Amino acid sequence: MRRTVRRRRGRTTAALLTAAITGGLVAGCTAGGSPKDHAQDGGHSSAPASSGAVLAVKIDNVAAARPQTGLDQADLVYAEQVEAGLSRLMAVFATNLPKAVGPVRSARESDLELLRQFHTPTLAFSGAQHKLLPLIDKAPLTPAPPDRNSDAYFRDPHKAAPHNLYLRPQRLMRAAPGAAALTTGFRFGAAPAGGTPETTRTVRFPSARFTFTWSAERHRWLVDMDGTPTVTADGTQVAPATVVVQYVRVRTSGLHDVLGNNSPYTETVGSGKAQVLRDGKVFDVRWRRASATDGTRFTTADGTAMNFAQGQVWVVLAKE
């Protein structure tokens, strides 16, 4: 019964989003969660970027934001820790641009380091801490907040702010850049020898948790967040082919949110341990990213490159 209710709600939300897209809801800086800076562009819409660079979208991940839209169509999803031990997602699109993605939320300082692996990516976000905004402007990326790209965003009037801001990716980019833009260093192909049978894995943040359950029927990992199956607004179960649990240093930064909570900084340059889930198995590996402009290499104990399964990849950046 719960699954039936969830799917009905999902279809209802999807219908509302479709109506919002076709009806041209007014986007941009309305009350509740909208950015207060970046005003020098006057809220105008910029022309769509040329293809060749990925689109990265910061996605809200608290209960009020779910079900999300477009998450199942991302090539890559990063899960990171934010204030108060909660989680936020960054969805990266290269091979497909869905009609809508969201809810869109604010950027974090860690995002700038993470995105350096891509060539001039477009970053869609709702805003940022005021001290971070100048760093975003100086970073080698294309910032795409709603006040600079008003016609690319809309608000769902049936959801409460700030969990109601959505992006129309095709109004930011002319076309999906293609798989070649995914300069992550990830390798895809047959699994190496070894691995341990694994049917479920849970990763915990202080105030959030992710569970991945192997589906032999779908040959995918079914995502569950905070005890609830991750189903998009149109009722699609999010199911990556590969899940990476990457253990990284998560430290305090010099930035805080409006409530005074410190914004954690997740370091993705360096090396450490990781676990790769694919084909119903877990592989213990090492990760290495020599510099911010490099991708991340994953290798087994004997130095063999760790191949991922073809399909969507989730990377959970867990505290070491």
Q: Residues 138-173: pLDDT tens digits?
A: 999 999 999 999 999 999 998 999 999 999 999 999
Q: Identify the CA nearest to 247 among candidates 112, 130, 93, 81.
A: 81
Q: Are residues 173 and 296 in the same domain?
A: no
Evaluate whether residue 34 is within a structural domain.
no
Res. 16: pLDDT tops 70: no
Q: How far apart are CA 72 and CA 76, in angstroms?
A: 10
Evaluate whether residue 311 is within a structural domain.
yes
pLDDT range class, residue 262, cuts 50, 70, 90: confident
Tell me the average pLDDT across 46-58.
Answer: 77
Contact status, residue 70 vs residue 308, Cβ threshold 8 Å: no
More confident residue, 196 or 10: 196
Evaluate whether residue 273 is within a structural domain.
yes
Whole-number pLDDT of residue 31: 31
pLDDT range class, residue 257, cuts 50, 70, 90: confident
Q: Are residues 164 and 191 in the same domain?
A: no
User: Nearest 5°: phi and psi at 15?
Assistant: -65, -40
Whole-number pLDDT of residue 291: 98
Q: Identify the CA nearest to 38 among candidates 147, 172, 121.
A: 147
Please identify, among 122, 146, 181, the residue that sits at the C-terminal boundary of a domain: 181
Evaluate whether residue 266 is within a structural domain.
yes
pLDDT range class, residue 49, cuts 50, 70, 90: low
Phi-psi region of 107 (alpha: psi -120 to 50; beta: other; left: phi over 0): beta
Q: Are residues 157 and 208 in the same domain?
A: no
Q: Domain of 122: which CATH number? A: 3.50.90.10
Least confident of 36-45, 254-263, 311-320: 36-45
Q: Are residues 20 and 113 in the same domain?
A: yes
Please identify, among 130, 164, 181, the residue that sits at the C-terminal boundary of a domain: 181
Q: How far apart are CA 76 and CA 240, in angstroms?
A: 9
Res. 26: pLDDT tops 50: no
| Coil/strand/helix, residue 23 | helix
How many domains, the chain?
Answer: 2
pLDDT range class, residue 253, cuts 50, 70, 90: confident
Whole-number pLDDT of residue 48: 63
Whole-number pLDDT of residue 149: 94
What is the DSSP code string of 199-256? SEEEEEETTEEEEEEEETTTTEEEEEETTEE-B-TTSPBP--SEEEEEEE-EEEEEEE
The structure tokens 């974090």 sit at 108
Q: What residues pair up with 77 in beta bridges, in sequence order?
A: 91, 314
The structure tokens 């199956």 sit at 229
What distance separates the 2 farthest-apart alpha carbons in the chain? 57
What percentage of the chain carries pLDDT values higher than 70?
84
Q: Are residues 77 and 173 in the same domain?
A: yes
Evaluate whether residue 40 is within a structural domain.
no
In the predicted model, what is the mean pLDDT of the chain?
87
For the chain, give the number of residues: 320
Q: Let me know the angle formed at the C-alpha of 156 by 41 and 98, rounded to the nearest 5 degrees.
A: 80
Whole-number pLDDT of residue 259: 74
Q: Are residues 69 and 106 in the same domain?
A: yes
pLDDT of 54-72, one tens digit each?
999 999 999 999 999 999 9
Q: Are residues 97 and 220 in the same domain?
A: no
Q: Are residues 244 and 122 in the same domain?
A: no
Q: Are residues 158 and 209 in the same domain?
A: no
Domain extent for 110: 2-24+52-181
Residue type, 285: V
Tokens standing for residue 75: 């090539």
- Would you give the DSSP letter of residue 173? B
Q: Are residues 193 and 159 in the same domain?
A: no
Evaluate whether residue 87 is within a structural domain.
yes
Evaluate whether residue 36 is within a structural domain.
no
Q: Let me know the angle formed at the C-alpha of 255 by 251 and 259, rounded to the nearest 5 degrees.
A: 110
Whole-number pLDDT of residue 261: 82
Res. 1: pLDDT tops 60: no
Phi-psi region of 125 (alpha: psi -120 to 50; beta: other; left: phi over 0): beta
Contact status, residue 238 vs residue 231, Cβ threshold 8 Å: yes
Residue type, 135: L
Res. 10: pLDDT tops 80: no
Q: How far apart are CA 314 and CA 107, in angstroms?
A: 19
Please identify, among 181, 205, 224, the residue that sits at the C-terminal boundary of a domain: 181
Evaluate whether residue 41 is within a structural domain.
no
**Following CA atoms 141, 147, 151, 157 in sequence, which dihedral angle do they give, to the nearest 10 degrees?**
120
Q: Are residues 245 and 136 in the same domain?
A: no
Distant-in-sequence, close-in-space partners of 189: CB < 8 Å, separation ≥ 6 = 307
Q: How far apart are CA 288 and CA 182, in angstroms?
A: 17
Q: Are residues 216 and 246 in the same domain?
A: yes
pLDDT of 93-128, one tens digit each?
999 999 999 999 999 999 999 999 999 999 999 999
User: Using CB atoms within 10 A of its CB, is residue 210 exposed (0-12), middle (13-18) or buried (19+)?
Assistant: buried
